[in-house]
Structure 1
Amino acid sequence: MIYKMVKLFLSSLTFIIKVVYGRSLFLFKGYKYLFLSCFLIPSLAFPFEFPPERTKREADKELGWMFAPLPGCVEGVGCAVPIAGLISNFYKSTDLVILKTLAKGDIEATVVQLQKFPIIDEKLFLKVLYYDWDISLLNYDRGIHSGKKDYYQTFENVNSSTINLQSQFYNQHLEIQIGYSSGGSEASKIFDAEENQFTNIQSPLRNWVDNTIGTQIDLTDNHLEPREGIRFELLHNATDYELSELSDYDVNSLNFTTYIPFLGSDTLLINAFQSRSYISEQGLTDENALREKFALGCDLEKEAEACREAENRRVNYWQARNRFGKASALGGINRMRAYSLGRYYAGNSSNYSLEYRLNFSEKQTPINWIIMGGVRTVLQAAFFYEVGSVSDDISELHQNMRTSFGVGFRAIISGLIYRFDLAKGDDGIAPTLFINYPLSLGTLGS
């Protein structure tokens, strides 16, 4: 498996060369120029010193913490109030995240993450993640043309265990990581967009194994909060569903970001992202065979017609996924922030972003509140604009683009980036509250 991953990972370098030199249909002419501009801009923006001199802030290594309730509800299921706790730099560079619902109820969640635990100081780090939670997922119709109500919703218990090894060299300019995770899910309820509920679910169980390998070349002035330079990331992911009816597939993703200093301490960010999936082992693609596997027992439901529509959506979802795989989706906390998690997906995806980061305070300020503590180093406002598209046919990838734009506020406290973004798109306005900057690729650079 490792040999296969390395081989496929290296083959993706050929794909990059094809993109850059024009022998791929992956980018249409206008967007190819935009992609290439990310490579050319550094030579114009940094004529005096490139790569820029590396900087570090000692305050980013200070102990920090945050504790807060995270209430949430799922229509037709119930509500819960999990408590989230986060401690940064509690042992050298190690961060600890814990989330737990304290009272047993309709919705439960347990998350434990240990990140950047040093095995070999400043060279090799360990990340361990375990979660077991009840989650509601919106499964939209495939492609860029799906409407706001074109989905079926699943309520399922999802559990996963992940281990990740991260090596950094040359003052964090080069990073290599490998990861392994396994997990499973069990769907207990399915809803349609009108909140009709269906419980006669065929094939509610899924299990999977993910293997990842990735690299990052970071030629910026600061690993945590870059303001000048370029950053290139490449990630290969192989998913094995361990079920003959579901296709296994691989995903190659690349991410390129240019950071341009602006008006003193501000930064203009230009980001280009591409992702492609490949079927590695074919699952079922016959509609009748899939319907036997993913039926909802609609003859037993009161709202039979609504049930059949949801069933058709479920069958179509897995039929197309078995044929084309699924590249990195657009929507959620990282890209196309105006849309819900995984809103747009297909066999290929692309995203281009501009973000202006305005640093209006850089005074180091100790914080010792009950729910939050550490050393604040930066307060930042952000203004961003994103365009993205997905398609199973790579030649049509950029024919229809969705947009997302908005504003954000960030605070860097003891090496953690607390982020709030508010974005607007075709589906309306969506908030994001998260840790870390957007536009990253997996856990690379974190």
Structure 2
Amino acid sequence: MKKLSFLFIIFILIHSSVSAIERRTEQFPTDFGYLTLPLPYVIPGAGMGLGFLGGFNNVPFGSTETTLDLFAILITGDIGGGIVLATDVPVIPEMFLLDVGQGNFDKGSFRSYRDRRMNSDPDDYVISELSDTRFRFTRLTLTFFDRMFDVFTFGTNNKSTLSAIRDKEGKLIYEANQSFEGDSRSNGFQIDWTDDRTDPQKGLKLIYTNTDSPDSASDSPDYFVQSYNFTGYIPVLSYSTFALNWYRSGATVRKQGNTDLDYLIAKETATCFSNCDSETIALLAKNRQATNQYGSGGSLGGTERMRSYVGGRFSGAQVESRGAEFRWNLSDEKTAFDWYFIKDIRTGFQVAFFYEEGTVADKTSDLWNEKRTSAGIGTRLVTGSGFVYRLDFATGKEGGSTIVIFDYPWGTFGQ
């Protein structure tokens, strides 16, 4: 009841204030655009090969324009599989939108660091190799006031098998056979009090999500995660923007999982059937112990926050980051282009300079005892169909990274 009352108050506040700012473009664009690209890849512990990306925004049905977006990725080589997504499906045009998707992979991998803290050794990790991975997701969004207020629910189902543990060079440490499956549900809202949802130049944006992670077994933790993503946009020069972002995510444990280290080591050992390594097994068991005690509030690193660090580099029950980005808009003229593999209407071209800092901890009181920073430069090509082509070069304490992706940074489920 308290949550419903809170949402109702937010709804009334937004309704009374939307007249204070005007949208400068159409918020349900129907300009058709597409992108097709080859995606060569090399993933330590998983293999190498070639993928193919196809993205189609605002796909028309005959002569009827729509907001439907379709995405597909076909992966060949050592990692076989694919992803199919359909977003902004207009169940009720300009009010009720549906997103659905599914992905299947023969192989995959992720890094497991020995220490979740900020001052951990960046080279002290193992590679967890996955097989038979599958995910499905569904998102429903109710949107009001020209997309200034959204309420959404987001559900996922993930299934995979841990098949091997490798060192950082990709060499086999031991083989395993541990299957796991999990469901999660996120609910939230977005207040987008800006002059444009896709390419804001002034205003405020707040995204709140509450993600439920129920226990999947008797020895697993039961917790939920609340996250707040706030961004302010300040217009500068003629049509450029200075953006400020604050992000906070935290896990609240309703029931701890099993935190007995001997039990967790024995459980990890039971999944190993070849070349078992006691030191690596203890590492994975300690990480599981921390999650069972405190939960997991997310991570820093990757394409959205702390961009100079690899995805998932820092993780913990409590996560916080701050960022600033100057988006120098060199052009806002509408220019159509069609280059065989890409077709759209350019509505803006920007050079961006950014700085970020972040921290993670298992306890709120330990946040900002240690922090890391990231800075860099990038470009953004904004299009009429809704794509934002982003190229970033970021650097930090552990080196640099290059990012190519199709949206602004600092995103969450709400975007």
Distance 1:83 1:324, change over 3 A: same
Q: CA deviation at 1:196?
A: 3.2
Letter in 1 for 2:146: N
- Which residue matches 1:433? 404
- Which residue matches 2:395? 424
Moved over 4 A (4+): 6-13, 57-60, 296-300
Distance 1:77 1:217, change over 3 A: closer
Which residue, out of 295, 320, 327, partners 1:357?
327
- Which residue matches 1:243? 217
Distance 1:10 1:349, change over 3 A: farther
- Which residue matches 1:36? none
Q: Which runs of 5+ in 1 are unaligned?
A: 1-5, 14-48
Aligned pairs for 1:36-435 within 5 A: 51-57=20-26, 60-91=29-60, 92-101=66-75, 103=76, 105-133=77-105, 134-140=107-113, 141-157=115-131, 158-201=133-176, 204-295=178-269, 301=275, 307-413=277-383, 414-435=385-406
Q: CA deviation at 1:374?
A: 1.3
- Which residue matches 2:13? none
**TM-score under structure 1 length normalisation:** 0.84
- CA distance, structure 2, for counterparts of residue 84 and residue 95 of structure 1: 14
Distance 1:296 1:196, change over 3 A: farther
Which SS does the other structure have where 1:200 is aligned?
strand
- Backbone CA RMSD of aligned residues: 2.3
- Residues 174 and 272, structure 2, Cα contact 8 Å, conserved in 1: no
- Residues 330 and 342, structure 1, Cα contact 8 Å, conserved in 2: yes
Letter in 2 for 1:424: T
- CA distance, structure 2, for counterparts of residue 9 and residue 100 of structure 1: 42
Q: CA deviation at 1:10?
A: 8.0
- CA distance, structure 1, for counterparts of residue 24 and residue 2 of structure 2: 35
- CA distance, structure 1, for counterparts of residue 371 and residue 166 of structure 2: 29
Distance 1:108 1:172, change over 3 A: same
Q: CA deviation at 1:94?
A: 1.2
Q: Which runs of 5+ in 2 are unaligned?
A: 9-17, 61-65
Q: CA deviation at 1:246?
A: 2.3
- Residues 84 and 97, structure 1, Cα contact 8 Å, conserved in 2: yes
- CA distance, structure 1, for counterparts of residue 2 and residue 271 of structure 2: 44
**TM-score under structure 2 length normalisation:** 0.90
Q: Which has the higher helix share?
A: 1
- CA distance, structure 2, for counterparts of residue 267 and residue 360 of structure 1: 11
Which SS does the other structure have where 2:302 is aligned?
coil
Which SS does the other structure have where 2:123 is aligned?
coil
Aligned identity (percent) is 29
- Which residue matches 1:46? none
Distance 1:64 1:237, change over 3 A: same
